[in-house]
Structure 1
Amino acid sequence: MGVGYMTWSMWDRGADGASDPGARSATGAAPGSLLWTASKPSLDSPASYSDGTLYVGGTERLYALDPADGQERWSFAFGLYVPTRTVLNGDGDTAYFAHSGGTLRAVDTTDGTTRWTYRLGSRVLPSDPALAGSTLYIATSDGLLHAVDAATGGQRWTAEYRTAASRAPATPVATRSTVYVGGYDGELRAYDTRGRRRWTFRTGGPLSSPVMWSESLYVSSADGKVYAVDITTGARRWAFPVEGETGGLALVGTGLYFHNRADTLYAVHTQSGRARWTYPLPSEVQVVAAASSTTVYLGHRDGTLRAVDTGSAKEIWTFEAPGRFLAPPTPTGRVVYFTTTDGDKPEPRLHAVAG
């Protein structure tokens, strides 16, 4: 069973092998138990994992950490806030992220030194970057989708779409031939590698970041539906009605998982669009669901990290975290990483919990 393209899909590269130091640290640990906690001045963005290293950014700095114990391998100060998830290239030697001030940056993963920068605009909010082949895609709150050469940082093209200037845009998802992005106007757009629009799928409200599995895209709309859309033609395959606005989408094989504002977790079959099960949540979810091969993880406003089995819809374990979540959890095989902060200890903390 494979994990589909997430809106922040590069987090789990290389995380399931026996050589993974994070997985080794979880050997013998009870699921849901704390492995370690690291405190840093800035750990606000979601963690990313690649080839034995965790990458996490925040206020003014990007950190590379040992997943076995959270010890710092290196950090590099940029003087600007890093709100996005870090994406790694196929070789694992270059990390890409955007930071405040409107800059997309590529850094060397051995020491954090800058390889190149690309200007997005001085007053824009960026999406997470998405990498497909040799091209990076990133959307900005001024209504532009940027295609950037991943090796040089040179602009390949830009395309316009509709978004809201006051909020971070939906993250694009891409293949080697097509990039897809959801707009605040309720339109899901597909562009080819030259920036030419291939098709448009219209819904009745602002869209989430799309996720992709096999020949379909999945996206939630503020019109109260989750849609499956053919990646080639843009035709609707099915629509699933949801009570209230949904959070982000998570994919595992043929299962699509999401929660709504009425505190229900849904499991929907990706091919048929039929509900597999629903799970009533005891408290409000703060961050979007994240999924590993057999488990969905949710972060609640009361500081609870909850693990739910994707097959049985039963709770596996919970972990009571101090404070509120700053970013969605990052599952990497046998370990889940997530950041929190609270009033007593305002310095953000990165936690590693056995999955």
Structure 2
Amino acid sequence: MYQQDPQHTGRSPYAGPRQATVLRRFDTSLPENMPPDAAIPRDDFQSSSAIGPDGTIYVANFPGVLFALRDSSTARDRLDLVWRFHPPNASSFHATPALSSDGGTVYLGFASGGFNAPGKATLYALKAPASGTDAQVAWSVDLGDARVMASPTVGPDGTIYVANSAGVLYAVSPDGQVRWTAQSGPTIKSAPALGADGTLHHATSDGKMYAVSPQGQVRWTFDFGEHLGPTPLVTNPNASGGGGASGIGSGASPTIGPDATIYVGANNSNMYAVAPDGTLKWLFEAERELAGIWTTPCLSADGGTIFFGANKGGVYALNTANGSKRWQFPVYGSIYASSVLDSRGVLYTGTTVEHVYALDSAQGELLWDMDIHNQVWSAPSIRPDGTLVIADRGGQVQVIG
């Protein structure tokens, strides 16, 4: 699922590559891979990939196709299509698929009509087909007249949590029954993060983060506009619609630490640490830029450091105890892609400057740097064999090892 687990720690159980060589590719821009009724007809990945227990790659593009890919048995430099799914004239935008605990079911929301249409949102549960390359729909759930841009999160009991652009959070059982809904904000692009006690946390376009109980009741809200920091970048949460680049709203998904602290970034370039009761613990001001932090922090194995990329300033590492900066790796461009942290402590990050970086998370030192030749807006993933999966804005899925 998005950022590896329900808490969105970004930690992979696998060790990633020590060097940067492209081993395999899959080109979704080829005519045979493009749907005839693409809701958003451009070759573009902003969805991060999810990895199955057997190394199968699940990733969706803006034209609205969810691909299941595996290593080709006939060509050493290629990925082959296992199956795909495309609802008519629909897109999952930048949502990342989630898997059931056994890896046999894939969950993802789609909405019809693209960006400008009213849209009809649906959550699908998909399985591999008995034959052919068209996925089997196990069930689907109506998510209302809205878009669905938020990635689903799967809880330990198999409940799927997903939100729509009308600000409604859904809890759906593994057999496709809606358990409850919660209205919490005007627009939700944020994947809900699930705490150990079952509380869900997500940010909204009106400049707030919500905590929702396991029964679907809003417990508290945290208002970014009440905590602007010493050098405020934005003072009007309603500027450009609140959730736009000039507002204080957030499309970033939170990360939850082992002590239940919630870490979340906002458009005003602040990274916030929020206590389990909804009070501010600290905030950190990244270099000031509108649409400042769209990424979800990674959390070190000991819980003592978070890592995130920003629109300005590159990659930051912060002490979770007080928000002080441990190190900063400069990138002369924007970072909209969340990072992944491997089992050896290597941090992998994609950028808008068409490079993927591998950093030593202890010191922030560069281990390797690879030119991908396209912008990367989605988080890398690591497969069980140690290869790194990158989906870029040119429609390419690349396996690096």
TM-score, normalisation: structure 2: 0.68
Q: In structure 1, give the amino acid aligned to 2:381.
A: A
- 1:86 CA drift (Å): 0.7
Note if 1:187 corresponds to 2:270: yes
Q: 1:117 aligns with which of 176, 181, 200?
A: 181
Equivalent position SS for 2:379: strand
Matches within 5 A, 1:1-355: 6=8, 15-16=52-53, 29=73, 32-41=79-88, 42-44=90-92, 45-51=95-101, 52-59=104-111, 60-67=121-128, 70-80=135-145, 81-92=147-158, 94-110=159-175, 112-121=176-185, 123-133=186-196, 134-150=198-214, 152-162=215-225, 164-166=242-244, 169-176=251-258, 177-205=260-288, 206-207=292-293, 208-214=295-301, 215-248=304-337, 249-253=339-343, 254-282=345-373, 284-293=374-383, 294-309=386-401
Q: 1:35 & 1:223 partners in 2: Cα distance?
A: 39
| Residues 150 and 164, structure 2, Cα contact 8 Å, conserved in 1 | yes
Offset at residue 43 of structure 1 (A): 4.6
Per-residue CA deviation, residues 244-287 of structure 1 (Å, 9 max, x unaligned), is 112312222211112232211111111111000111123x2253
- Residue 37 and residue 276 in structure 1: after superposition, are their counterparts in 2 closer, same or farther (change >3 A)? same
Quickly say closer, same or farther: Cα 1:25–1:234, change in 2 above 3 A: closer
The answer to whether the 8 A contact 2:70-2:79 is kept is: no
2:262 partner letter: V
SS of the aligned residue for 2:206 comes to: coil
Contact 2:169/2:183, CA 8 A, preserved across alignment? yes
Quick check: 2:336–2:352 contact (8 Å CA) kept in 1? yes
* Contact 1:285–1:299 (CA under 8 A) maintained in structure 2: no
1:295 Cα offset (Å) = 2.6
- Residues 125 and 139, structure 2, Cα contact 8 Å, conserved in 1: yes
Q: 1:266 to 1:6 in 2, by over 3 A?
A: farther
| CA deviations over 1:20-72 (Å, ceiling 9, x no partner) | 9x9x9959846612212223234513211112210011112110011466211
The DSSP-based 3-state class of the residue aligned with 1:287 is coil
Partner of 1:316: none
Mark the CA change 1:174 to 1:67 in structure 2 (over 3 Å): closer, same or farther: farther
* Structure 1 unmatched ranges of 5 or more: 310-355
Gaps of 5+ in 2: 13-47, 59-67, 112-120, 226-236
Normalising by structure 1, report the TM-score: 0.76
On the 8 A contact 1:6/1:251 being kept in 2, the answer is no
Distance 1:25 1:251, change over 3 A: closer
1:65 maps to a residue whose letter is: L
Using the alignment, how far apart are the partners of 2:310 and 2:375 within structure 1? 18
Measured in 1, the distance between the counterparts of 2:392 and 2:69 equals: 25
Q: How far did 1:9 drift?
A: 7.9
Question: What's the offset of the Cα at 1:13?
Answer: 9.5
- Rounded Cα–Cα distance in structure 1 between residues aligned with 2:69 and 2:359: 33
Cα distance in 1, alignment partners of residues 322 and 314 from structure 2: 20
8 Å CA contact 2:254–2:264 kept in 1: the answer is yes
